[in-house]
Amino acid sequence: MPDAVVFDLDGVLLDSEQLWNEAKEAVVREFGGHWASEAPRTMLGMSSPEWSVYMRDELGVPLSAEEINDRVVAHMNDGYERELPMLPGAGKTVAALAERWPLGLASSANREIIDKFLRLSGLGDRFEVSLSSEQVDRGKPSPDVYLEVVRRLGAEPERCVAVEDSGNGIRAAAAAGLAVIAVPNPHYPPEDDALELAAATVAGVAGVTPELVEEVGAS
């Protein structure tokens, strides 16, 4: 029986990975940078300090990393205020699992975006711990954000289950020692070597049932 379940946010609970990349591309083009086709996949899992520096140094945005971050987050805030892109079954899955286990949220999104999600979704009281990778030293695929969420939950990594969609997210959770349920992102599917690290794979977050969590946590 697992001690806790830790969710990723973008691509697992929100259909938002492409929205982040649209916001980043808009900032790059607005300020005369050069958008690269590989940029979306390169930035997957990066913390906000990491992708802001990447956009400045590699994509040629002539702003400080802090200004880049602020402009991208402003795009996301505006979009979420208009409509929060919840994935089908996300709310019900979170509610069902919260009845059985403490829940954590380990996201690459900025802290203020996580807080907006928790408020607008009505799921704020379901998560005992939520953390942005900007609050730890390194973003995914490093395990830092998962290790810190599990620590704050008072659990042991090997007794926790993670729900992740991206290759770097799966790698991060697995490196932290959690059993992983993969929910492959259709926009940016994880690489085969990352999927091999998952204990189970489902088509969408609605497939993350208490029974599956028990099975994966016991393996």
pLDDT in tens, 144-157: 999 999 999 999 99
For residue 141, cis peptide bond before it (omega within 30 degrees of 0):
yes
Domain CATH for 180: 3.40.50.1000
- Does the pLDDT of residue 167 top 80, yes or no? yes
- State the catalytic residue, choosing from 3, 10, 125, 192: 10
| Helix or strand run (H / E) with residue 198 | none
* DSSP E strands, 8-156: 103-107, 129-132
Q: What is the mean pLDDT of the chain?
A: 95
Angle CA(201)–CA(108)–CA(209) in degrees, nearest 5?
30
- State the catalytic residue, choosing from 8, 15, 144, 165: 8
**Annotated catalytic, 8?**
yes
Q: Is the pTM of this model over 0.85?
A: yes
Which of these three, 82, 114, 130, is where a domain ends?
82
**Annotated catalytic, 3?**
no
User: How many angstroms separate the Cα of 80 from the Cα of each of 3, 6, 70, 84, 117?
Assistant: 32, 23, 15, 5, 8
Q: Tell whether 9 and 111 lie within a shared domain.
A: yes
Give mean pLDDT, residues 83-101. Answer: 97
pLDDT at position 5 is 98
Which of these three, 40, 56, 82, is where a domain ends?
82
- Does the pLDDT of residue 1 top 90, yes or no? no
When divided into structural domains, the chain yields a total of 2
Tokens of 145: 């954000």
Q: Tell whether 122 and 179 lie within a shared domain.
A: yes
Domain CATH for 66: 1.10.150
